[in-house]
Amino acid sequence: MSKAKDSKAVDSILIRRLYYFFEPYKWWAVLAIGLTLSAAFLGTVRPKLTQIAVDDYISIGDIDGLFWIITLLGLALAGEFIILVANTYITRWFGQGALFGLRNAVFAKIQSLHVQFFDKNPIGRLITRTTSDIEALSELLSDGIVNMIGDLFRIFFILYFMLMMSWELTIIAILVLPILFYSTFWFKGKVRVAFLNVRDQIARLNSFVQEHINGIAIVQLFNREQKQKDHFESINEEHKDAHIQTIFYFSIFWPVVEVLASLAMALVVWYGGARALMDQVTFGVLLAFIQYVRQFFNPIRGLSEKYNTLQSALASSERIFDVLDTENEVIENPNPVKLEEVTGSIEFQNVWFRYNKEDELILKDVSFKAEPGQILAIVGATGAGKTTIINLLLRYYDIEKGKILLDGVDIKDLSLTDLRTRFGLVLQDNALFSGSILNNITLGNNNITREQVIKASKEVECHKFIKKLPGGYDYVLNERGASLSMGQRQLICFVRAMVYDPKILILDEATSSVDSETEELVAKACNQMMEGRTSIVIAHRLSTIQDADRILVMHKGEIRENGPHKQLIRKPDGIYKKLYELQYKDQANIPGKSVAKL
Ligand SMILES: Nc1ncnc2c1ncn2[C@@H]1O[C@H](COP(=O)(O)OP(=O)(O)OP(=O)(O)O)[C@@H](O)[C@H]1O
Ligand SMILES: [Mg+2]
């Protein structure tokens, strides 16, 4: 019982929150309800008019009166038709408007969330939230509620007209209602659960498809198609079963309503017919009652169906609001410090961090400093925590203990935009989007001109390569830039990092996917880029970082060594020294591989 109460409370909160998106259209909704009310009246007044026609005019042979009443009947029918057309259009129109606002809000929210949210939520699920979950609301927000109100009006009018004519027949007509209420109640409960299940299955299906199309090359390489197909089939099967479950309940419910309606009709004909024969009711009344009974069950059936729409919509909106309510774990300072000019000094003070509370520490007491204009290199084995340092510096995640300073200001005191615009970032797997190269570089920022893009790309030696592509800067990339090689994608990302003229440059394994010829070009470009900027370079190949002002050697989340190449190389038993000697053996065999000054 208390659970039912709770869910009612939740429902009413959900409806109130949905109303927020509906608010701009509220006067249209009022109009729609007015129109529905009129349509309900015009629809239900017709049997009454028939009764008057039969009893007051046909029975006494009044042709003029009959003509008059038939005209009224025709007008009522035409009026109802026009109103229903207008109303359908209006309600769908504002419904789509409300959905438009909601979809925008969901996307904007998802976009603003902390990176960790995406570690935990599969992309497919988020796609479901922004598409089909919102679609499920469409009926509710458009004609769902208005029609429900219309149905209530219809029931009310029908009862009113019936009672006006004969209370006795009215009671006979509604004798079956308790059975109808009971079966509706049963049906509602079953279908609610079934609908929740359907939505779950849709999200699962989407996640699966999304993930496996993303990794299609791997799936095909390892000949996993059959296996994945089987897996997909089993998810699809559950999805189908969930749907069939709802169909099953509907297929029981509809005939039940149909049978009850016929039963009510039979009762009215039997009882009313007998009364009419005894002259206790007129034939007009009997005729009207037969029509009313037929009309009566439609809105009742409509209400229970719409109740399901409502249920499925509420199930969806609950999930949508879950996303909208997700607290951003990276909280912006409401009164941020505004940095005018940044010199680019970076400092980590005793930073401790882990990705999840239950996990091990990923960074342990990490402290270092990079002065403006310096090159800071970070080396260390895979998983040592190098990329993590970058993630923290850009506040993709927040640290547990310690402090990170940019120009002496705690980065938590800066607005995220202010912080992040200071950095140019090139990663190993860079995100490209479908669209032209130019757009991929400016990311839609209209303040950046084509000339600026070309200038930046000349600086990083990418101009020649881009020029060679068909259409040059207007060459249109496929989704994720799949039509370019890894190295080419990397080069475009160099331009993207540079075009904003950032004060601090971060290269995380940035040169690892280009060939040695390009690497030389890129190395030159990098030198150019690092001029006058603080730079953080993460590299596995030590040859690329020998000229860094400072090298941090990370090991299992700790900084074990910290100093320039010349100093680290002399340290007996040093990790860096060992790493260098290991790699030096390789490099000694490939003269010229050692990259230009970096
Ligand atoms: N999003 C994440 N959620 C949970 N743990 C993570 C996440 N990203 C990284 N880790 C863990 O943090 C540790 C450090 O990862 P990090 O990416 O910083 O390594 P790295 O030094 O950059 O390695 P590589 O040289 O391979 O790029 C790893 O043990 C990894 O498992
Ligand atoms: Mg890394």
The confidence score (pLDDT) of residue 376 equals 94
Check residue 62 and give its pLDDT.
83
Helix (H, G, I), strand (E, B) or coil at 112: helix
Protein residue whose Cα sits closest to atom 25 of ligand 1: 382
Is 80 exceeded by the pLDDT of residue 98? yes
The per-residue pLDDT for 362 is 93
pLDDT of residue 513: 61
Average pLDDT over residues 387-394: 93
Cα of 386 to ligand 1 centre, how many Å?
8
**3-state SS assignment for residue 445:** coil
What H or E segment, with its residue span, contains residue 96?
helix 63-112
Q: Is the CB of 384 under 6 A from ligand 1?
A: yes
Q: Considering the chain, what percentage of its residues have pLDDT values greater than 70?
A: 93
Q: List, for residues 160-174, the tens digit of each pLDDT value.
A: 999 998 888 899 888
Q: How many angstroms does the Cα of residue 395 sit away from the middle of ligand 1? A: 15
Give the ligand at the shortest distance from the Cα of 555: 1
Backbone dihedral region for residue 584 (phi beyond 0: left; psi -120 to 50: alpha; all else: beta): alpha
State if residue 387 touches ligand 1 by the CB under 6 angstroms criterion. Answer: yes
CA distance readout (Å), 458 to 426, 450, 506, 519: 17, 12, 19, 16
pLDDT at residue 124, rounded to an integer: 78
Comparison of pLDDT for 430 and 121, the residue scoring more: 121
pLDDT value at residue 524: 75
Edge-to-edge strand list for the sheet holding 401-406: 363-370, 346-353, 401-406, 409-410
Say if ligand 1 is within 6 A of residue 362 CB.
Answer: yes
- Rounded CA-CA distance 42/150 in Å is 12
**pLDDT > 80? residue 584:** no
Question: Distance from the CA of 488 to the center of ligand 1, in angstroms?
Answer: 25
pLDDT of residue 359: 85
Segment 421-446 mean pLDDT: 84
Name which residue leads in pLDDT, 517 or 381: 381
Distance 354 CA to ligand 1 centre (A): 10
Q: Mean pLDDT highest for which of 49-58, 198-207, 243-252, 342-351? A: 342-351
| Residues in Cβ contact with 163 at an 8 Å cutoff, skipping those fewer than 6 apart | 170
* 500 CB-side CA count, 13 A: 22
Query: Does residue 364 carry a pLDDT above 90?
Result: yes
Residue written as tokens 């998802």?
A: 110
Ligand 1 pocket, mutate which of 382, 388, 537 (most atoms under 8 A from CB) = 388
Q: Which atom of ligand 1 is nearest to the CA of 388?
A: 18
Cα(25)–Cα(19) distance, integer angstroms? 10
Among 76-80, 108-112, 182-186, 337-341, top mean pLDDT goes to 76-80
Which stretch of 55-64, 257-266, 399-408 has the lowest confidence by average pLDDT? 55-64
Task: Please give the pLDDT value at position 114.
Answer: 85
The separation between the first and the last C-alpha atoms of the chain, rounded to the nearest angstrom, is 71
Going from the Cα of 538 to the center of ligand 2, the distance in angstroms, rounded, reads 8
Residue whose C-alpha is closest to residue 397's, from 116, 172, 182, 598 = 116
Cβ–Cβ contacts within 10 Å for residue 159, how many? 16
Tell which one of 119, 360, 362 to mutate to probe ligand 1, the residue whose CB is within 8 A of the most ligand atoms: 362
Binning pLDDT at 50, 70 and 90, where does residue 353 land?
A: very high
Q: Which residue has the higher pLDDT, 516 or 260?
A: 260
Which pLDDT score is estimated for 498? 85
pTM of the model: 0.74
Q: Is 255 exposed, middle or buried (0-12, 13-18, 19+ CB in 10 A)?
A: exposed
Annotated domain spans of the chain: 2-325
Mean of pLDDT values over 348-368? 92
Please check the confidence at residue 127 and state whether its pLDDT lies above 80.
Answer: yes
User: What pLDDT does 585 receive?
Assistant: 66
Rounded to an integer, what distance in angstroms lies between the CA atom of residue 123 and that of residue 126? 5
CATH fold for domain 2-325: ABC transporter transmembrane region fold (1.20.1560)
Nearest ligand, measured from the Cα of 388: 1
Task: Kindly report the average pLDDT of the chain as a whole number.
Answer: 85
Give the pLDDT score at 3.
43
Task: State if residue 388 touches ligand 1 by the CB under 6 angstroms criterion.
Answer: yes
Residue bearing tokens 């140019």: 424
Ligand 1 centroid distance, CA of 204 (Å): 27
The whole-number pLDDT of residue 593 equals: 41
Span from the CA of 585 to the centroid of ligand 1 (angstroms): 28
Residue 3, token pair as written in the block: 């659970």
Of 387, 394, 398, the residue with max ligand 1 atoms within 8 A of its CB, to mutate for a pocket test, comes to 387
Q: Ligand 1 in contact with 119 (CB < 6 A)? A: yes
Residue 377's pLDDT band (boundaries 50, 70, 90)?
very high
Q: Is 402 helix (H, G, I), strand (E, B) or coil?
A: strand
The pLDDT value recorded for residue 586 is 58
What's the mean pLDDT in 357-370? 91
What is the spatial order of strands in the sheet that 375-380 belongs to?
A: 423-426, 504-508, 534-538, 375-380, 550-555, 558-563
When pLDDT is averaged across residues 151-168 and rounded to a whole number, the result is 91
C-alpha of residue 392 to centroid of ligand 1, in Å: 12
Confidence at residue 457, expressed as pLDDT on a 0 to 100 scale: 87
Nearest atom of ligand 1 to the alpha carbon of 389: 18
Residue 594, pLDDT > 50, answer: no
Say yes or no: CB of residue 385 within 6 Å of ligand 1: yes
Ligand nearest to the CA of 386: 1
Check residue 330 and report its DSSP letter. S
Which residue lies with its CA nearest to atom 3 of ligand 1? 355
pLDDT at 548 over 50: yes
Q: Is residue 583 pLDDT above 80, yes or no?
A: no
Q: What are the pLDDT digits (tens) for 79-89? A: 999 999 999 89
